[in-house]
Structure 1
Amino acid sequence: MIVRVEYPEGYGKNFEVNPLKGTVRCADDGDYDRLFVVLPAEKSTFRIRHFPFNDRRKILKIVESDVKSTPFLSEERLVCRSLFFPDGDGTTVLTVIVRESDIDAVREKEADSIDSEVFALLRAILFEGKRDGDFYYQKKKSTVLISVRRGVPVAVRVLAKGVSEGEPISCSGISHELIPLFGSALQLVRNLEVNFLKEESSGVEGSFLKAASLLFLSLVFLSAVLFGGSRLFKREAKRIRKIEASLFREKFPDVPAVDPLTQLKGMLASREEKGIDAVDVLNIAGRVKGEGISVLKFNAGDGRFSIEGKAPDIASATAFAGKLRRFNAEITETVTLKDGIRFRLEGRY
């Protein structure tokens, strides 16, 4: 995937990004798949806070309330986005705040994402495996300072040009002026994505909304397919019935044409009307009782029946009940006699 990253004034560079391999490298300028715009650090203000819990939704509400309640920011229309760094003691949050007018000024570029130079430089630091120290990036008119402890930002400042504290920010194989652009492209492989064009939400909420949207679209698509398939099936069935009726009239001109489905319904109806009664059960029992089985008594009523009889042994009586399994027949009582057993069998019809 080719991603172009540029500043609002148009200076930029193309990068070839492979999220699966986790690689980003410079590419020739030309066509690209996505466009990222990086807002300069001078157009931002920053907040870093630590919270003794990990509830992102609650943290976002606190951050938003804190920004709105700040006196020198309260009269501005602002947009803020945050990066979260959870640890064993809670969550550290780096928030970048920009004017909404600065976002609107670059919307005409139709970018896929609007990023912050501060976030981009932080990604570049972490990409190089540097988790502790003070780092600076010299620009034409200012210097961006970022302090990191155990991989978590603890301070961000934008100072006058020429100020240098700690170690200069650098990336292997990337020229100095391209480092912020390279850092913005890194958001696709470092799981530190920020986009001022999208509403900020908790990870759980965002995943839920995305899953709900996909589920809704899937249901709509499935409903459309089933509805279309149902109508197509009805049309085909109607056409086939017409052909069958035509053929039937050709072969049997004196017999009213009846389609197979109607015939089947009639057969089922006649079968249901016929049913099975107590006499049928007794006849079937007489046919399948086998040698050595004697039926001494038969009772039936309310869809249930019982048979009392004699058998040479329990195995014979069990076999008899098995032949009546269509009626859920089972032996409920046996009495041992000198010349065999007496049994009672019950079932339903």
Structure 2
Amino acid sequence: MVAPKDFISVLEDTGMIVQVGSWVVAQACKQIGVWLQSAVGPIQVSVNVSGRQFVEGDLDGNIIAGLAMHAIPADLLELELTETSLMAQTERTIEILQSVKQHGGQVSIDDFGTGYSSLAYLRRFPIDKLKIDMGFIRDVTTNPDDAAIVLAIINLAHSLKLDVIAEGVETAAQLNYLRRHHCDQIQGYYFSAPLTAEQATEVLLQDTALPPAQDSGQSRKTLLIIDDDPVILEALAILFSCDGYRILCAPSGADGFDLLALNEVQVILCDQRMPAMSGTDFLDKVKQLYPKTFRIVLSGHTDLESIMEAVNGGAVFRFYTKPWDNKLLRDNVRDAFRQFAAIG
């Protein structure tokens, strides 16, 4: 087996992408027809197309022939184009895509956000969906910049009445984060690795689906405690258990990000000195990803410079030292929940 990333460029360089692209369209239409006549029923299939197919091939003729030969509705075939291929021979591309749309076909932009074209093409081309490149999804739950781009694409697409698909979803945390921010569809290894047509048929017949959204605890007061010392983590969990909170515990910042993506958390109590990431560094990213969350640092070490910097920068709302005063800490966490509720 040879991966697409290795052979697609060769096909492009030699011009064979046009012949192979025609074959792929024909095979996709054939498979849609097979499923349509079976117990599987109507299934939409997406086909990647190259810019050279618009210039050198007969893409619209291939599509019309494939739809007619296998007697399938046009809306079951979707064309995926990259931003770069979209801008090759623009007028010819627009003409072909409009023909596809007139016949009822669908058009999506693959790897959105990685090309060099102007956003003006979103108005010029008949587009139905935007696919967010996996490079932005990989760290969407931990990288504020990636999260900002993903949310911007979702909001942009929805404002233009386009659907959004996230590529490269591999974890439950990524899935839940995208669900919470109203991404329409996902694709990636979290659902399934690539399958043959026969394997895909088995999955479709089993009506396999993603797991339902978890109970995020939005209706309950949820406290996230992060500390790499299991003894302290347990002690803090016991301390707050009598206050009726839903308590989540994590031994590191990385685990904390996963829990934040999977749950609605109002207050975070975080140790300052942890491996890989300090508490203030963790909370600085949390501030950008979840700005309403109330953030507290608990530390047994004196590091006033970084703590003051975090407090002055708004990453941390409160700072307490170890060992802590049980009553004072419980009172202040209770007050943190009240302040969170007050700001909505």
Name whichever structure is richer in strand by fraction. 1
The two structures share one fold, judged by TM-score above 0.5:
no
- Give the TM-score range, shorter chain: under 0.3
Name whichever structure is richer in helix by fraction. 2
**Higher CA-based Rg:** 1
**Larger relative contact order, structure 1 or 2 (CA cutoff 8 Å, min sep 6):** 1
The TM-score normalised by the length of structure 1 is 0.19
